[in-house]
Amino acid sequence: MRSVPQALPRLAALFLAAGLLTACAGTLTHDEIQAKFDAGLKAYDAGDYAAAFSTWKDIQDVDVAALRNLALMLRKGQGIKQDLKAAREKMTTAADMGLVTAQYDLAEMYLNGEGAPRDVASAIPWLERAAAAGHPFAAFELGKLLEAGDGIAKDPERAQKLFQKAASSGVAGAAERLKTP
């Protein structure tokens, strides 16, 4: 068995070769990426989930929305066998990259216990980020947690502000939670 220092030159050569292959493959232009994304969307809307999955998979490393769409398809088992672990991994990457819809989707997966037990503590930071960025459903869900004190300190005043934001965006159920003095 090789020791780590002996394996390092081989590992470095492997990474160099991978980098050269990537460079030789060329990069897609913005218009080409958009065209591929749109082709995936067209296939998805037509119900050809396998084609949509394949198309978005080709651009997942350069288009965060395509990455999120793959995560959603893995989550639902559309065009591919359902794989909640892979869905969560891809969704986490998209959320980390700042895609607000992915932040909310990831929080929803944690709240629903999709692929793992329900984990409110892990959902809250994602809801906070998405709500701060203006995602109305994230504001509503965070408001419900704050209202109930579920996994977070009870804060009815802040919950009301979040319900107001959600209600002003037309989120069903948000207006009913607003308290009048």
- Long-range Cβ contacts of 119-126 (<8 Å, 24+ apart): 120/145, 120/150, 120/151, 120/152, 121/151, 123/151, 124/151, 124/152, 126/95
| Predicted pLDDT at 3 | 39
pLDDT for the residue numbered 26: 56
12 in any annotated domain: no
pTM reported for the whole predicted model: 0.83
141 is in which domain, residue-wise?
98-170
Question: Residue 179: its pLDDT value, please?
Answer: 80
Q: Is residue 179, in this structure, part of any structural domain at all?
A: no
CA dihedral 170, 176, 178, 181 (to 10 degrees): 140
In a domain, residue 90? The reply is no
Residues 66 and 105 in one domain: no
User: What CATH number did the domain enclosing 133 receive?
Assistant: 1.25.40.10
Residues 19-54 have pLDDT tens digits of: 433 444 458 999 999 999 999 999 999 999 999 999
In a domain, 56, yes or no: yes
Divide the 181 residues of the chain into consecutive groups of 10 and give the mean pLDDT of each group. 41 40 62 97 98 98 98 97 97 98 98 96 98 98 98 97 98 90 52
For residues 126 and 111, the answer to whether their CB atoms sit within 8 Å is: no
Asked whether residue 50 falls in the same domain as residue 108, the answer is: no
25: in domain: no
Look at residue 136 and tell me if it is in a domain: yes
Percentage above 90 pLDDT, the chain: 82
- Let me know whether 129 and 154 are in one domain: yes
